[in-house]
Structure 1
Amino acid sequence: MFIVKWTLVVIALVAIAGLIAGQLGLLKGTPPADLGVHGGKLKPPSQAPNSVSSQASLYPGHPQRTYADIAPLSLKGDPDATLDRIAGIIEAMDGANIVKREPGYIYAQFTTRLMKYVDDAEFWFDPDAEVIQVRSASRLGKSDLGVNRKRIEFIRQKLSSS
């Protein structure tokens, strides 16, 4: 019984330490320096299963290509109008912050409420494919528990219903 109680105390202390670290911003990670469009492509998916990319198929040898694969977003009107709608959807989401907005491109950060983890998301109008290419990735951790996929699918659903 003594060992069980101390095990519970240790687990509680670790959980509290994690919460404190998150609140202090120690779990937000570093923003990637290589975001944006390079040679008609967004950054490849993460090496760990914690990202999605509508361009995952462009990286055939990538270890997370299958996990990361997600469909691009369809245009809803012209490209500028579609990106304006996407920006509006993002701005209404909890923990969202649009960091960069350029013609044909949006870069946003999503911060979790409790632990303050940050995910980076990009939306780019691909003139060749005539779609909005997307990439959303966690900065830290080996798994995102499907959060990035759910986020992009939420944006897709909101975009199609607007």
Structure 2
Amino acid sequence: MKFKIIFFSVIMTMMNSTPTLASAIDKKLPLCASSPNCVSSQAGIHDKQHYILPFEIKGNPLQAWAALRKVIIKQPRMVITHETHTTLHAEATSLVFRFVDDINVVMDADAELIHIRSASRVGHSDFGVNRKRIETLRTELRKLGVID
């Protein structure tokens, strides 16, 4: 049994890869694959499986961005791995199996929106974890009064 767990862990670690942030320069998030383990505010609005509302900035976009950064840092097992003044990439690690999910964020100050994507790196279903993660961030930012 121990061998199976170790083998499974090694295979999952080898399969992990971080999506590129090159598309974030154009205010675009990576696309969601067809599997249901990803949500994105830039998915098609009719794609109920993947679409999630973007964060609508209320007030100063820089204050909303700073608040988002603080809220992400406070989340358990979530770390920011890369950021610029308008993009952010974080990784969330699951407690038991140590699966890593990627969170990509792009601020569109002109449209007063923060686009966000959360996706599992491996597997097919995430049991709604990625959607719940984004909604938790939304709730925290609303409490701070920086988004509608």
Tell me the TM-score normalized by structure 2: 0.84
Structure 1 residue 17 and structure 2 residue 7: aligned?
no
| Aligned mates of 1:136, 1:35 — CA distance in 2 | 17
Mark the CA change 1:152 to 1:21 in structure 2 (over 3 Å): closer, same or farther.
Answer: farther
| Equivalences for residues 53-68 of structure 1 within 5 A | 53-57=40-44, 65-68=47-50
- Is the contact between residue 27 and residue 107 of structure 2 (CA under 8 Å) also seen in structure 1? no
**What is the RMSD of the two structures over their aligned residues, measured on CA atoms?**
2.3
Mark the CA change 1:30 to 1:81 in structure 2 (over 3 Å): closer, same or farther.
Answer: same
| Equivalences for residues 45-124 of structure 1 within 5 A | 45-57=32-44, 65-124=47-106
Displacement over 4 Å in runs of 4+: none
* Residue deviations 1:41-66 (CA, integer Å, cap 9, x gap): 211112211000001017x8xxxx32
| Aligned mates of 2:92, 2:132 — CA distance in 1 | 13
- Is the contact between residue 28 and residue 106 of structure 2 (CA under 8 Å) also seen in structure 1? no
Q: Report the alpha carbon displacement of residue 36 of structure 1 after superposing the two structures with TM.
A: 4.2
Report the 3-state secondary structure (helix = DSSP H, G, I; strand = E; otherwise coil) of the residue aligned with 1:56.
Answer: coil
Indicate the residue corresponding to 1:9 in structure 2: none
| Aligned mates of 1:35, 1:137 — CA distance in 2 | 17
Question: Could you tell me the percent identity over the aligned residues?
Answer: 32
Give the letter for the 2:40 counterpart: S
Q: Which has the larger radius of gyration?
A: 1
Report the 3-state secondary structure (helix = DSSP H, G, I; strand = E; otherwise coil) of the residue aligned with 2:124.
Answer: coil
* Residue deviations 1:46-93 (CA, integer Å, cap 9, x gap): 2211000001017x8xxxx32001000121431121111111111111
Give the letter for the 1:43 counterpart: P
Name stretches of at least 5 consecutive residues in structure 1 with no aligned partner.
Answer: 1-12
Q: Report the alpha carbon displacement of residue 37 of structure 1 after superposing the two structures with TM.
A: 1.4
| Aligned mates of 2:68, 2:124 — CA distance in 1 | 28
Q: Report the alpha carbon displacement of residue 112 of structure 1 after superposing the two structures with TM.
A: 0.8
